[in-house]
């Protein structure tokens, strides 16, 4: 009889505890996947009250505090600047660094540095599927040549408030569906890091940041955040459409963003990966 293997465990550190992280924490508390424990949360200001914080989680404020915590996975959900601040330490002190703010990867020099650190430390950078749910088909298709990928993001005007879209169109008086940006995934994610962050995911899954075409749309008739991804190549043709409910606490983000992180975490300890 073969010896049994140790039970899988996953000690997590979240970088940031805003709308997405607190929703993930809420779902994990409900579902209680075996072996998963949130042992630390990295924040900028530990004095701010966070009623939804996981019981027993240690608050940390500096990357060097990751040392000695025996972390398996660091999950960034704090916005683009946090990737540069926490990335190297996360890759040196944990097996995986999950990057939600993938718009940070429009900076090629930073991405190159993090890849070099991951290679040296034997760790991995993980890009979750985010608001797109899963792009496994596009990633598989990229084994063969892909001719083109187009990603259209449609959101209600409210979701574009506080972004450059407000300088380009009148969001308060918009009467019909209006396309206000067309360019590469790199350009879209750089100009709209909160709303078009997800364009980097489709780009990394397929033909890259500079060949993936992105269109951004504000539509007063839209009640959900909509993503339409199409691709043509040697594999055939792909058309994907998702209509995501927005997070109740942040209309710029989709509920699916939190759900994809829950799936990623549960798959890391599950006996059946799906």
pLDDT in tens, 176-232: 999 999 999 999 999 999 889 999 999 999 999 999 999 999 999 999 999 999 999
Domain that holds residue 181: 136-254
DSSP state of 128: -
* SS3 call for 200: helix
Backbone angles phi, psi at 26, to 5 degrees: -60, -45
Whether 155 and 226 map to the same domain: the answer is yes
Residues 161 and 247 grouped into a single domain:
yes
Tokens of 37: 């424990």
Given a contact cutoff of 8 angstroms between Cβ atoms, the answer to whether 77 and 18 are in contact is: yes
The CA distance from 48 to 70, in Å, is: 26
Domain membership flag for residue 164: yes
Indicate left, alpha or beta for 222 from its phi (over 0: left) and psi (-120 to 50: alpha).
beta
If you average pLDDT over every residue of the chain, what do you get? 93
* 126 within 8 A of 83, measured Cβ to Cβ: no
* Residue 210: other Cβ atoms inside 10 A: 11
Residue 261 backbone phi and psi in degrees, to 5: -70, -40
pLDDT given at position 98? 98
pLDDT for 2 beyond 60: no
Among 93, 151, 186, 227, the one annotated catalytic? 227
- Domain check: are 74 and 116 in the same one? yes
The per-residue pLDDT for 147 is 98
Classify residue 148: in a domain, yes or no.
Answer: yes
Verify that 175 and 245 share a domain, yes or no: yes
Pair 239, 230: CB distance under 8 Å: yes
3-state secondary structure of 29: helix
Q: Are residues 121 and 155 in the same domain?
A: no
Which one of 84, 104, 126 terminates a domain? 126
234 pLDDT higher than 70: yes
Residue whose tokens read 């007063």: 220
Report helix, strand or coil for 46.
coil
Same domain, 149 and 168: yes
**14 and 122 part of one domain:** yes
Q: Is 195 marked as binding a ligand?
A: no
User: Same domain, yes or no, for 122 and 207?
Assistant: no
pLDDT: which is higher, 50 or 77: 77
In a domain, 267, yes or no: no
CB 111, CB 193: distance < 8 Å: no
Question: Are the C-beta atoms of 100 and 76 separated by less than 8 Å?
Answer: yes
Integer Cα distance of 235 and 247 in angstroms:
35
The proportion of the chain whose per-residue pLDDT surpasses 90, expressed as a percent, equals: 83
Annotated binding-site residue? 40: no
Q: End of a domain among 126, 153, 177?
A: 126
In CATH, what number is assigned to the domain containing residue 87?
3.40.50.720
pLDDT in the model for residue 203: 96
> 274 or 268: whose pLDDT is higher?
268
For residues 14 and 117, state if they share a domain: yes
> Residue 250's pLDDT is what?
83
131 falls in which pLDDT band (50, 70, 90)? confident
Q: Do 249 and 141 have their domain in common?
A: yes
pTM reported for the whole predicted model:
0.92
Domain count along the chain: 2
- 30 and 107 part of one domain: yes
- Residue 225, domain CATH: 3.30.360.10
Among 97, 126, 155, residue at a domain's last position: 126
Q: Which residues contact 129 (CB under 8 A, 6 or more apart)?
A: 135, 201, 260, 263, 264
Model confidence at 162, pLDDT cuts 50, 70, 90, reads: very high
DSSP H or E run through 151: strand 146-155
Q: Is 227 a catalytic residue?
A: yes
Instruction: Between 110 and 6, name the one with better pLDDT.
Output: 110
Q: How far is CA 51 from CA 18, 26, 54, 126, in A?
A: 11, 11, 9, 28
| Same domain assignment for residues 167 and 73 | no
Which residues lie across from 95 on neighbouring strands?
A: none
What lies within 8 Å, CB to CB, of 172 at 6+ separation is 157
């Amino acid at each position: 009889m073969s010896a049994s293997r140790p039970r899988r465990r996953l000690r997590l550190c979240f970088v940031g505890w805003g709308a997405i992280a607190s929703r993930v924490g809420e779902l994990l508390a409900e579902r209680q996947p075996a072996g998963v424990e949130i042992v630390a949360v990295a924040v900028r200001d530990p004095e701010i009250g966070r009623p939804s914080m996981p019981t027993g989680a240690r608050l940390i404020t500096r990357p060097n505090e990751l040392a000695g915590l025996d972390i398996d996975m660091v999950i960034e959900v704090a916005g683009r600047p946090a990737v540069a601040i926490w990335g190297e330490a996360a890759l040196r002190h944990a097996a995986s660094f999950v990057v939600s703010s993938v718009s940070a990867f429009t900076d090629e020099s930073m991405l190159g540095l993090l890849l070099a650190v991951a290679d040296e430390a034997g760790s991995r950078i993980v890009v979750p599927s985010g608001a797109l749910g899963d792009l496994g088909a596009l990633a598989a298709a990229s084994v063969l040549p892909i001719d083109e990928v187009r990603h259209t993001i449609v959101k209600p005007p409210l979701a574009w408030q506080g972004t450059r879209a407000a300088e380009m169109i009148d969001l308060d008086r918009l009467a019909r569906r209006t396309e206000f940006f067309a360019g590469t995934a790199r350009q879209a994610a750089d100009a709209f890091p909160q709303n078009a962050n997800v364009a980097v995911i489709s780009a990394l899954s397929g033909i890259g940041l500079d060949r993936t075409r992105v269109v951004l749309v504000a539509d007063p008739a839209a009640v959900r955040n909509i993503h339409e991804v199409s691709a043509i190549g040697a594999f055939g043709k792909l058309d994907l459409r998702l209509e995501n409910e927005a997070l109740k606490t942040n209309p710029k983000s989709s509920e699916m963003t939190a759900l994809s992180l829950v799936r990623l975490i549960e798959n890391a300890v599950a006996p059946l990966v799906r």
